[in-house]
Amino acid sequence: MDQRPPSQEEIRDAFINAPGFIWPEFAAMPLNCFDLKTALLTFPGDISKSRSDPFSDCADFQVDINDLNTCPRIDSFFEKERWNESSLFVWWYLGRFHWTCSPGAVRQFSVTQGFFTTYINVTRFQNMEEVSDITQPFQLKTALYKSLIGKIEKGFIKPITPDSIFEKSINGRVWVIARSFDPCDNPTYEVASAIDHRTAIDLAIKLDNSWFSDETIPNEVEQKHLASLWDYLSHVTIHPAGSNHLEAGTFYRETPGQAEKVEEDKFEW
């Protein structure tokens, strides 16, 4: 048996030639339920560690998205204002978690290369011209782009254009996605879907260690990573208030369910 670790070329071939990647079963992860007063938002993932950080400024499991007093205003770490009434957007930070992707084994060695780090927020878009109803996807695209201008100006992500933001429908819910790169050329994705006319669930996602340094990730490899993101989004639900028996909090699940897998169209960058 060959005891040598896989070479870079073997790993490269595995990622390019694998028919698809392996990732965790989201239906077996803890289910987080946030009562937003007008809706119940649920999504999987272990966010407990991020919420236990004393400087995380996490929102409560029960918040009223029509009452800004329920949204932490002061940054606990830097002791400065996070937002005010004149801000273009106000965000309730719910938590952070990550998952990995793998093409499987190369010889007898398991290979993992691709870590999605996901920050989950509920975001109110306000004080924006041409944005009055983000249930209209073109308005949500405009709002999302305007909310990213600060990240672009500070160099956190590379510049994008409004026209590059695209739509994707998953289980009947429309998501808008802004793709960019961080300064280390890791792909980033800002993903949002409307809850009401001015509020959305907003995921800020970075894909680390997804390819080799000084090389742009090939489209076919990125698409295999993104299949796990589309799967994750299929497990995010927004229920009208009072229409579901779930209560606010995190619930740990012993028996994994099986999410329906829907063949999605590929998006060419």
Cβ of 127: how many Cβ atoms within 10 Å?
12
pLDDT at 269: 55
- Mean pLDDT of the residues in the chain: 90
Please answer whether residues 204 and 116 qualify as being in contact, where contact means their C-beta atoms are separated by less than 8 angstroms: no
**Helix H segments across the chain?**
8-17, 48-52, 137-153, 219-233
Q: pLDDT, tens digit, for every residue of 108-136?
A: 667 777 899 999 999 999 999 999 999 99
**pTM for the full predicted model:** 0.90
Dihedrals phi, psi of 15, to nearest 5 degrees? -70, -35
DSSP structure class, residue 6: P
Q: What burial letters (b/e) apply to 88-119, b meaning 16+ CB within 10 Å? A: bbbbbbbbbbebbbbbeebeeeebebbbbebb
Residues written for the chain: 269
